[in-house]
Chains A and B, each alone.
Chain A
Amino acid sequence: MKTIFEKSIPGRRSTRPVASDVPTKAKLAPNLLRKQPAALPELSELDVVRHFTGLSRLNFGVDTGFYPLGSCTMKYNPKLAEVVGRNPGFAMLHPLLPQLPGGEIMVQGALAVLYEMDRLLSEISGMAGFTMQPLAGAHGELTGVLIIAAYHKDRGNHKKTILIPDSAHGTNPASAAIAGFTVKTIPSSEDGLLDVEALEAALDDDVAGLMLTCPNTLGLTHPRIKEITDLVHAVDGLVYCDGANTNAMLGRCRPGDVGFDVVHINLHKTFATPHGGGGPGAGPVGVVEKLMPYLPVSVVRERQDGTYYLEYDHPKSIGYMSPFYGNFAVILKAYTYLLMVGSEGLPRISGNAVLNANYVLARLREHYEYPVKSKQPCKHECVLSAVRQAKSGVRALDIAKTLMDYGFHSPTIYFPLTVKECIMIEPTETESKEMLDAFCDAMIDIARIADENPESLHDTPRSTPVSRLDEVKAAKELDVASY
């Protein structure tokens, strides 16, 4: 489709902006002004609406169909949350209001949402308190690791190393590096779990902490988790829980109860806020009591009379991770979801998410290699491998692309790095058995074609608006903007 700039017709106008109703004209020196207007599109409102409606139809979302993208928790996004997000009582609220004298009383509803989310997430994760500031999962990681750094600095510890398992998401080491730490990688054992003996060997006084994804990226919980957190605590290290996979644990096991000190939760995964095509997300961070002084400012507090206020006086705080209170509208949507789900809903979410993943695994493990040696059930996602199909030249990539022709979004295939030809499937709890069966039937059909006619899988997908794109050309010629 032509770009919106290519569709532009000189002189055409859309929305008419309000005209000035004041007698004054601003006078600015020519060196401060544009010589000509910015070359933005010149189109009618209908042109613009059709252009973007056309683009939207080239997309695949959860509302379009099954989206089993592993590690991304593409569950259904309830529509009520969208309605609440647009409520002018929230949408029109200026973030600087509470900094004004007399402004606090004008934002009591919003502060209540932030305060209650803190309490809800603290109960759900077993932490003492949360900050809502982090604007995404990776931003939560950075916040968490900066808190770990602040804790050690405050205690006079000179610890420079963060331990991270090889199966971790790439943001973990990248976040630790920005927080000033050196990263040491801990290998996984044969069963796909963190190797406890390797961890013990790596632990010394230089270790500031361990970042652990729970359940891990193979969808496995670590049966020796408490032993692991105890070992790290023994050298005055802190344990960070990457809570990207919290969906599997809701109402079953709380990070705070198994010895984690810091956790981030992706509201856009676990608590059903939409992913928006790559954001906005939200990654609130929770900490245990001893780390509370280091949380970012401001902190929402409740007075005896039931009103809320923002506290800025936290001398040990790591400071500001975002200008205000995080991605408020995202937090609001997650809050809406949590009110509907309630305490009894939490274990049902994790239970059904884990049931769906194990069902897919049970149906597919005859047809694909299951690279996990551990006998334990998978959690919210299952990781298969296409090594068997790869022998006849059909890679995980081919399988992922072919699934699009069956009407499904592809699973994750570039991750985790520890599994060759991996196919990581996360069905989520919101999908029905019929949908999972249709997906499994497609996967089985593809495995059959991989056997019988492997060549035919190299130029899929065929039913999509474009076929496989030339990524090398994109990086080499680098056309990233027209201007």
Chain B
Amino acid sequence: MPFIANTDAQRKEMLEVIGVQHIDELFADIPAHLQCGEINIPKGLSEQEVRNRLDILSKRNNVDYFNFLGGGFYDHYIPAAVSAITGRSEFYTAYTPYQPEISQGTLQAIYEYQSAMCRLTGMEVANASLYDGGTAICEAIIMAANITDRKRIVIDDSVNPIYRKMVRSYTSNLGLELIEIPSKDGMPDRGLIEAALNDQTAALVVQTPNFFGCIDDVTDLGERIHSHGGLLVVSTYPLALGLLRPPGECGADIVVAEGQSLGLTLSFGGPYLGILTTRKKFARKIPGRIAGRTVDAKGREGFVLTLQAREQHIRREKATSNICTNQALCALTSLVYLSLMGKEGLAEVAQTCADKAAYARERLLQVPGVSLRFPPDRPFFNEFVLQLPMAADKVIRRLFLRSVAAGFPLGRYWPEMDNCLLIAVTEKRTKEEIDFLAHALGAVL
């Protein structure tokens, strides 16, 4: 039978050593009437049959289109060496590195990941990763509330709307006061935010580039929240930081991000990577695992999981978070990606995304009836919002028939933006594809 090594003869020998006749006797402590019969699921199949079946299912998905869909999750190019390295089973079949003597590979990789994230975001401390960008925002909010001992959280509504929903679910019983501030022309509304901040505010949460693709210099927002004694939490797009000024230089106290853009496949929503970095002074308030450098008994350098006194297995209900696992393999993936791209390569990819998006915006604005939703001088990275002469839903549906995933209809989360289409352009889109999108858009309007 699959994945079980012992033969009947071996099982018999083992039962003799244990002193019972049959395996079922080892379950005799479960009262007979509570034991179940055969489970009502299909019989097992051979590897070949399963492979065929999954292959058929994969063909019932359509990934064969020109992809301009982003919304926080992007189709970037992944170098071949990434999966060659992360596919090494010494990495992926290991557990959390509790025994550092035989886990230096994972531990050093986590330390290097933490270093890379600090360098990218302009911060001083990173954890070993969280589940995804959304849970990273939730954990950052809880962390800020703990640090400041305050309950009020102010969130700009150009933060990814799905993440805002997650924050509501996650913190529903923590007695936090969540205040969402409507954005104005694609950017945080400074006036409304100023009015919402007070001396009870634990954190101001903003995103840049935000859900609409707009880039914001959040320095002034940092100054405003700091003047009230609260923390600035900035959610960001890590690949864009190859080009953009890191949040750490703009007054951020906690930086969070979805790390999918750094070499992870889209995979229908996961596994992804929650990045969280902060200032050194908050290191002991950070959730999740952290690897640190130290030495062994012979003075040789090595790495261990550290600051475990914060964690659930020691502190139980008083822990900084309930998180036990990180996304080690996803963190490794992003580290390998960043190492392959390197200092110049990441800057180049980010610049190429921005250039292609700038071209796409220019080109699409030539289509009759298409205009910009927000003022034309709004800086943007690789995503922008078009105002269409009809419902974006209708346009998206029509463009699917021409093998184009045109973007995301903003009406889904902002009812007043029914005619707005959010378009993402990565380095994988070619000029030809962009021109095709423009042509097709012109044809369906």
Contact = CB atoms under 8 A, between A and B. Distances in A.
A261 interface: no
Contacts of A23: 359
Given A107-B61, A322-B134, 18 more contacts: A34-B241, A52-B336, A89-B59, A178-B174, A180-B173, A221-B29, A253-B34, A279-B96, A279-B329, A341-B44, A359-B17, A410-B98, A430-B5, A471-B304, A474-B292, A474-B306, A479-B292, A481-B118
B312 A48 contact: no
Interface stretch (A233-241, A344-352, A441-449): A344-352
Interface string B343-382: 1111111011011111100100000000000000001000
Nearest to B435: A22
Contacts of A201: none
Interface in A453-483: 459, 461, 464-471, 473-475, 477-483
Interface stretch (B50-58, B149-157, B177-185, B222-230): B50-58
A61 B294 contact: no
Given A226-B31, A320-B162, A468-B296, A101 B112 contact: no
B270 interface: yes
A18 B129 CA distance: 29
Interface string A302-328: 000000000000000011111111111
Interface in B87-118: 87-106, 108-109, 111-112, 114-118
A22 B355 contact: yes
B242 interface: yes
B322 interface: yes
| Interface of chain A, main secondary structure | loop
B145 to A, nearest CB: 12
Interface string A164-197: 0000011101111111110100000000000000
A181 B394 CA distance: 46
B328 interface: yes
A58 B325 contact: no
Interface stretch (B120-128, B190-198, B436-444): B120-128
Contact of B93 (A181, A275, A344, A358): A275
Contacts of B408: 96, 99-100
Nearest to B427: A18
B79 interface: yes
A381 to B, nearest CB: 13
Interface size of A as a range: 35 or more
Contacts of B5: 430-433, 435
A21 interface: yes
Given A170-B314, A183-B317, A415-B313, A257 B34 contact: yes
A109 B60 contact: yes
A135 B270 contact: yes
A170 B34 contact: no
A343 interface: yes
Highest count of chain A CB atoms <10 Å: which of B81, B266, B338: B266
B169 A93 contact: no
Interface residues of B, number: 211
Contacts of B20: 377
Contacts of B173: 146, 149, 178-181
Interface in B214-245: 215, 217, 219, 241-245
A320 B165 contact: yes
A362 interface: yes
A28 B327 CA distance: 34
Interface string A77-119: 1101011111111111111110111110111111011000001
Contact of A78 (B3, B42, B307, B428): B3
B434 interface: yes
A119 B40 CA distance: 10
B390 interface: no
B111 A355 contact: no
A141 B94 CA distance: 23
A392 interface: no
B175 interface: yes
Nearest to B382: A26
Nearest to B432: A21
A60 B246 contact: no
Contact of B87 (A62, A82, A170, A280): A82
Contacts of A176: 317
Contacts of A430: 3-5
Contact of A63 (B11, B83, B89): B89
Contact of B131 (A62, A253, A322): A322
Contacts of A63: 89-90, 93
A39 B45 contact: no
A139 interface: yes
B148 to A, nearest CB: 18
B294 A469 contact: yes
Contacts of B1: 344-345, 348
B131 A349 contact: no
Nearest to B13: A433
Given A24-B358, A481-B125, A258 B34 contact: yes
A186 to B, nearest CB: 14
B242 A37 contact: yes
Contact of B405 (A32, A97, A123, A339): A97
B31 A359 contact: no
A274 interface: yes
Contact of A29 (B63, B97, B379): B379
A264 B27 CA distance: 22
B269 A319 contact: no
A287 B389 CA distance: 46
A408 to B, nearest CB: 10
A319 B166 contact: yes
A246 interface: no
Contacts of B291: 480
B255 to A, nearest CB: 13
B417 interface: no
A252 B322 contact: no
